[in-house]
């Protein structure tokens, strides 16, 4: 059986690749997700849904809802706290993910990888989509754990080694993002969260993309999974307001950078993350 493992930082990050995860789950692939935190520093779209004190608990339940919708068979939480956006007081909290002991994080990830035995791992690209410190840290640790899992010298107490086949970074090209942002600006939808994202100039991500998964047939599952994350995507959120054609244009494909093994240069992106893998 083929197995796919996604490693992300917060409940709702999985949404960026939800179409791909839903597609593989429906092909009979065992899909697992590791989430580093419960997203305690996230939004509360409606005060009747959560308080700052119980937001982590509420978001865990939202994530379990999304897993069910997407077809994620196995969810593991690493148990750290959301470090918040760069420059916020949450960065300094002793329980914050970015303050945690790096060796402890690597051990937990290696142990889970050796238990789950995935063929393919997906995590953040080095800039964490838009620079969130938890995204950057998760991408770095997950990529390290990918290599350490097959190293007999590394963490022998974390179980027998497992040789993975392929590591991907999830990449969201600016051109797709811009489709959403342009629509939001034209229609007066608040997108101040993304104010720091540069919308012009060359996009280094776009040219690194090696894989493009067409998920238009799974957009319904993808959108249904975002509706599970009610505290993050309330009625006023961008995702809830954009029409189907904008969803298609901005989210109908999910794109990836193959990091290991180094891919052969190809003129057009490959469409299957498992191509050539027997499972």
- Given the rule CB under 5 A, which residues bind Zn ion? 9-10, 13
Cβ–Cβ < 8 Å for 96, 56: no
Q: How far is the CB of 138 from Zn ion (least distance, A)?
A: 8
Q: How far is the CB of 18 from Zn ion (least distance, A)?
A: 13
Which of 140, 142, 153 has its CA nearest to residue 110?
Answer: 142
Q: Measured at CB, which residue is nearest to Zn ion?
A: 10
Cβ nearer to Zn ion, comparing 13 with 165: 13
Cβ nearer to Zn ion, comparing 40 with 165: 40
Q: How far is the CB of 84 from Zn ion (least distance, A)?
A: 11
CA distance 206 to 116: 31
Cβ–Cβ < 8 Å for 165, 121: no
Cβ nearer to Zn ion, comparing 121 with 158: 121
3-state class of 181 per DSSP?
Answer: helix
Cβ–Cβ < 8 Å for 270, 166: no
Cβ nearer to Zn ion, comparing 82 with 165: 82
Cβ nearer to Zn ion, comparing 141 with 155: 141
Tokens of 46: 């409606």
Cβ nearer to Zn ion, comparing 10 with 229: 10
CB atoms within 10 A of CB 39: 26
Which of 177, 183, 224, 195 has its CA nearest to residue 69?
Answer: 224
CA distance 71 to 228: 13
Q: How far is the CB of 9 from Zn ion (least distance, A)?
A: 5
Q: How far is the CB of 128 from Zn ion (least distance, A)?
A: 8
Tokens of 15: 């949404």
Q: How far is the CB of 153 from Zn ion (least distance, A)?
A: 32
Tokens of 135: 């995204």
In the block, tokens 């791909």 appear at 20
Instruction: Give, as one character, the DSSP assignment of residue 15.
Output: G
């Amino acid at each position: 059986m083929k197995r796919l493992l996604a490693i992300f930082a917060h409940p709702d990050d999985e949404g960026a690749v939800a179409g791909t995860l839903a597609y593989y789950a429906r092909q009979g692939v065992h899909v697992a997700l590791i989430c580093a935190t419960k997203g305690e520093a996230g939004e509360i779209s409606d005060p009747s849904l959560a308080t700052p004190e119980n937001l982590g608990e509420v978001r865990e339940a939202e994530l379990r809802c999304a897993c069910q919708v997407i077809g994620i068979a196995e969810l593991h939480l690493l148990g750290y706290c959301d470090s918040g956006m760069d420059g916020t007081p949450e960065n300094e909290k002793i329980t914050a993910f970015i303050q945690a002991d790096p060796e402890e994080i690597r051990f937990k990830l290696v142990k889970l990888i050796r238990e789950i035995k995935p063929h393919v791992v997906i995590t953040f690209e080095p800039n964490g989509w838009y620079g969130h410190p938890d995204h950057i840290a998760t991408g770095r640790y997950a990529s390290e754990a990918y290599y350490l899992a097959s190293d007999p010298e590394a963490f022998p107490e974390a179980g027998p080694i497992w040789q993975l086949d392929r590591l991907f970074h999830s990449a969201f090209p600016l051109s797709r993002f811009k489709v959403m942002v342009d629509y939001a600006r034209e229609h007066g939808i608040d997108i101040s969260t993304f104010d720091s994202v540069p919308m012009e100039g060359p996009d280094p991500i776009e040219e690194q993309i090696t894989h493009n998964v067409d998920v238009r047939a799974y957009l319904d599952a993808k959108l249904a999974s975002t509706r599970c994350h009610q505290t993050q995507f309330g009625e006023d959120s961008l995702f809830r307001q954009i029409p189907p054609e904008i969803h298609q244009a901005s989210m109908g494909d999910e794109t990836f950078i193959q990091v290991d093994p180094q891919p052969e240069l190809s003129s057009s992106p490959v469409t299957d993350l498992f191509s050539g893998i027997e499972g």
